[in-house]
Amino acid sequence: MKPVLYLPYPTIRFTGIYKLKFLNGGITFFVFLLIIVVTCWSIIELFHYRFKLISDSNLTSTWMKRAAKIASTARWTLIVSTVSTVITLALCVVGLFDQTMHKMKFQILDRYPEILCMSALVLPKSSETGLKPIHLFNGSALFSVIIGSFLCTFMGGTSLLALREMVLKTRASMRTIKMHKAFLISLFCQISVHGIMLGFPIFIYIISVLCNFDGNDVGYVAIVMASLHGAMSTLAMVLLNRPLYELFVSRIWRIFSSDNMVFRDQSSFVSMGVSR
């Protein structure tokens, strides 16, 4: 799947398998949005779970309790913002699934007749059509992204500072401290992978729409990065999580070890002798 932009109109058409005649672009948009929302919320909940374990500990000082209140307020703000985003998206259903009348006004239909395809989505300009639900959705989604980024950074940073304080001022178990720290670093690295490999494609297409820049030439690079973000995030989790890394290495060692190869050769030799 590769999105194609048509400028100067903010029109995006999903090509590849989504080029089917009767597949509406709104369905594709909803599916990708659902994947992104689920991924982001899973990361936030992982940070929140680890943050709660550290902040609820009796070994942390009062400033960590205040940080917990700030994180709780930001989390509830994010929940309200997410609900608002879903509501505004529901108001966009009619506009997303039926854009034929709006597309007929374009001056480039003779050159790009495929814009009339159901898989093509158009973002109406507020200067021409006024304020639409899709514009409210964009603003609410942007606000949610900002709050979510702040929440992850705040919870992760304060958790690392709290762990450092627990090491310096208390008699906390060093094994527990190392476990929390390794998990937080692993989460930070996974967020970096998601941010780079998902943020770059979104950034390219946003810049293309806002600045009238033809980003279709780098569209293939962007879509490859977006497609591999899950595998790269899993690889980062395995490499930075010591138990998973040791399990991964042990499994690889069992598969490719010389003893295993000899055992297999001997088993095949014995089976051949029995068959004779």
CA atoms of 147 and 83, how far apart (whole Å): 14
Contacts of 68 (CB under 8 A, 6+ apart): 51, 52, 55, 56
Q: What is the pTM of this model?
A: 0.67
Position 215 pLDDT exceeds 70 = no
Q: Report the pLDDT value the prediction gives residue 78, as an integer from 0 to 100.
A: 92
The answer to whether position 252 is within a domain reads no
The answer to whether position 250 is within a domain reads no
Q: With 0-12 CB in 10 A as exposed, 13-18 as middle and 19+ as buried, what is 2?
A: middle
pLDDT band at 77 (very low <50, low <70, confident <90, very high): very high
The dihedral over CA atoms of 27, 32, 33, 38, expressed in degrees to the nearest 10, equals 130
pLDDT tens-place string over residues 29-49: 787 788 778 878 888 887 888
The answer to whether position 259 is within a domain reads no
The answer to whether position 233 is within a domain reads yes
Closest CA to 159 of 186, 195, 199: 186
pLDDT tens-place string over residues 235-270: 777 777 777 777 777 877 877 765 554 444 444 444
pLDDT tens-place string over residues 105-116: 777 777 777 777
Classified as helix, coil or strand, 75 is helix
The answer to whether position 246 is within a domain reads no
The number of folded domains in the chain is 1
The answer to whether position 267 is within a domain reads no
The answer to whether position 205 is within a domain reads yes
The answer to whether position 256 is within a domain reads no
Tell me the average pLDDT across 3-8: 62
